[in-house]
Amino acid sequence: MKTNQVLARIRAGEPAVVGWLVGGSPLVAECMGVLEFDGFLLDAQHGYWSYEALLNTLPTIADAGPAPLVRVADNDFGLIGRVLDAGALGIVIPMVNSAADAQRAVEACLYPPAGKRSSGGVRRERYGADYALAANDEIMAICMIETREAVERADEIMAVARLSCVMIGPGDLAMSLGLGLGRSEEHEACIVRVIEAGKRRGVPVGMACADTQDCLRRAEQGMLFLPCGNEIGWARQRAAEHLSAVREGIARRAGS
- pLDDT tens series, the chain, 256 aa: 899 999 999 999 999 999 999 999 999 999 999 999 999 999 999 999 999 999 999 999 999 999 999 999 999 999 999 999 999 999 999 999 999 999 999 999 999 999 999 998 888 888 988 999 999 999 999 999 999 999 999 999 999 999 999 999 999 999 999 987 778 899 999 999 999 999 999 999 999 998 889 999 999 999 999 998 899 999 999 999 999 999 999 988 887 6
Task: Tell me how many degrees the CA angle 103-16-125 measures, rounded to the nearest 5.
Answer: 65
Residue 125, pLDDT score? 82
Residue 49, pLDDT score? 97
Q: Helices then strands (H, E): number in the chain?
A: 12, 8
Which residue type, as a one-letter code, is found at position 61? Answer: I
Distances in whole angstroms, Cα of residue 187 to Cα of each of 8, 139, 182 = 30, 30, 9
Residue 45: phi, psi to the nearest 5? -95, -65
Residue 113: phi, psi to the nearest 5? -85, -5
| Residues identified as active-site | 46
Residue 181, pLDDT score? 75
Taking alpha carbons only, the member of 97, 67, 66 closest to residue 84 is 67
Please tell me the pTM assigned to this model: 0.94
Say whether 142 sits in a helix, a strand or coil.
strand
Whether residue 181 contacts residue 171, with contact meaning beta carbons closer than 8 Å, is answered with yes
Whether residue 154 contacts residue 194, with contact meaning beta carbons closer than 8 Å, is answered with yes
Residue 5, pLDDT score? 97
Topology adopted by domain 5-255:
TIM Barrel (3.20.20)
H-type helices in 120-184, by residue range?
131-138, 148-152, 154-158, 170-176
Residue 147: phi, psi to the nearest 5? -140, 165
Q: Taking the domains of the chain in order of start, what are their residue ranges?
A: 5-255
**Rg for the chain (alpha carbons), in Å?**
19
